[in-house]
Amino acid sequence: MADSFKIDFQAHGKVESGDLIVFVGENLKPTAAVAKQLGPKAVDLIAKAAAAENFKGKAKSAMSIVVPSSLSVDRLLVIGVGGEKDRTNVDFVQLGGLIAGKVNGKLATVVLDLPEIEVTPDAVADIAIGVQLRRYSFDRYKTKKDDNDAKNGGRLVLSVADPAAVRKIYKAREGIQQGVIIARDLVNEPPNVLGPQEFAARAQALAKLGVEVEILDDRAMKKLGMHALLGVAQGSARGGRIAIMRWNGGKANDKPIAFIGKGVVFDSGGISIKPGAGMEDMKGDMAGAACVVGLMHALASRKAKANVVGAIGLVENMPDGNAQRPGDIVTTMSGQTIEIINTDAEGRLVLADVLWYVQDRFKPKFMIDLATLTGAILVALAQEYAGLFSNNDELAERLTAAGKATGERVWRMPLGPEFDKMIESRFADMKNAAGRFGGSSTAAALLQRFVNDVPWAHLDIAGTAMGSPQNEINKGWSSGWGVRLLDRLVRDHYEARG
């Protein structure tokens, strides 16, 4: 949940109270228009204060002047935009987060007239999204709250050249911000509250936005032959679910595009149980499914002109007298068999059945799955990139471009016949674990066996979805990673083509 600002968009004008935020370059000068608004005394005050505080106007640096004598505001906050190199590729969402982090009052006005940086209505909308994402916190279960917390509401005025144009764009994009927050909330929820059934109910709430939602229970999945997914679920007292979400915003005859999420609401490892230290974090092993729900919210909210299928496999992996064992062999919906080597390699079993179901039923243009799948991806990429595996170069390139545009970056990893050979089993068609070497690639190789010839990409988000490094728009444990990436992919490469 977020302690969001009330954001207003207003035309440039005189500011009488609260915090006033302006921007300067490395020469410590605001734009001519802002300098005129502030007056010569205030501009001179900025230069004197900068000299006293050794403020150089570098990108992301800030200086605060309390009760500036020449202005009627409570505080003048000066943010640096840096030099020419810094101004070339400004991440406006991150800039919004930076602004939100500097505001500590009930009212603040930001003059979005930046030295040598064009601030379009699109850029302002991104700044507003960044502000709200930075304000996010998850304190639903805290009974004592800090009354002095600076996040307790507030009003932020973004002073812009064309308020009407900004309002229109922001209204269309507000659903993206909401989708990220939905994903964060889902990942942050405790596992005793959010089981497979409860998660499915959260997905079903998308029906209010016009999303068609269908829930498959254990009985329906058994009838379909989804024994890989059901094998994971059988150790838990809580049955599994699959939620199918459909947004039909494109042409009636257009094939859909599909997004699939791993939704292990808690992963103990099963019989191959994990160590106790850090196991509480395994409530986040459903971050891929959380992203898909957040994405479907974003697309439906802005009435995306695309046909989209979202599918999430929801299970809990627990040790129990009925749990599957190493050595078991399960038959997937595709008819292919998998030998269980390690019950903690369960996410690929869930995805195998869901991927097959989606490609078989919906015949999509492409499929992308997201999963907190392997610890090996953290060894390779730390927490800076998600691992990208794909059977289609064009899809991989588009994902890479969307990652660069949003800051949710992906790095393409190898996927070839050598890795497929490593998952061969003596007793079944394949095995679910192939040892330590190339662990992320062998996991992806197994998934590839369930996509047929459909263009497909797998995103291993184990390092980016939870516990990832904090930045200007995320100060919590769950990042909501992937919602902005995939919304951008849809917007730039599929809606744009009609």
| H, E, C per residue of 387-406 | EEEECCHHHHHHHHHHHHHH
Q: Is 420 annotated as a binding residue?
A: no
In terms of Cα–Cα distance, which of 140, 127, 244, 224 is closest to 177?
A: 127
Q: Is 363 within 8 Å of 452 (Cβ atoms)?
A: no
Q: Is 353 annotated as a binding residue?
A: no
Q: Is 459 within 8 Å of 386 (Cβ atoms)?
A: yes
Active-site residue identified among 106, 202, 238, 274: 274
In terms of Cα–Cα distance, which of 457, 179, 182 is closest to 304?
A: 179
Contacts of 147 (CB under 8 A, 6+ apart): none
- Please list, residue by residue across 229-255, b when 16 or more beta carbons sit within 10 angstroms of its beta carbon and e when fewer do: bbbbbbbbebbbbbbbbbbebbeeeee
Active-site residue identified among 167, 241, 283, 348: 348
Q: Is 217 annotated as a binding residue?
A: no
Query: Is 222 marked active-site?
Result: no
Q: Is 149 annotated as a binding residue?
A: no
CA dihedral in degrees (126, 132, 138, 144; nearest 10)? 170
Q: At how many degrees (to 10) do helices 287-301 and 483-490 cross?
A: 40
CA 393 – CA 416 distance, rounded (Å): 13
Query: Is 274 marked active-site?
Result: yes
Instruction: Determine which helix (DSSP H) or strand (DSSP E) holds 34, and give its type and residue range.
Output: helix 32-38
Instruction: Determine which helix (DSSP H) or strand (DSSP E) holds 257, and give its type and residue range.
Output: strand 257-267
Q: What value, to the nearest 5°, has the Cα angle with vertex 229 and ends 224 and 231?
A: 105
Q: Is 25 within 8 Å of 83 (Cβ atoms)?
A: yes
Helix, strand or coil for residue 295?
helix
Q: Is 342 within 8 Å of 433 (Cβ atoms)?
A: yes
CA dihedral in degrees (220, 221, 222, 224; nearest 10)? 90
CA 421 – CA 187 distance, rounded (Å): 34
Q: Is 346 annotated as a binding residue?
A: yes
Could you tell me which residues are annotated as the binding site for Mn(2+)? 262, 267, 285, 344, 346
Catalytic residues: 274, 348
What are the binding residues?
262, 267, 285, 344, 346
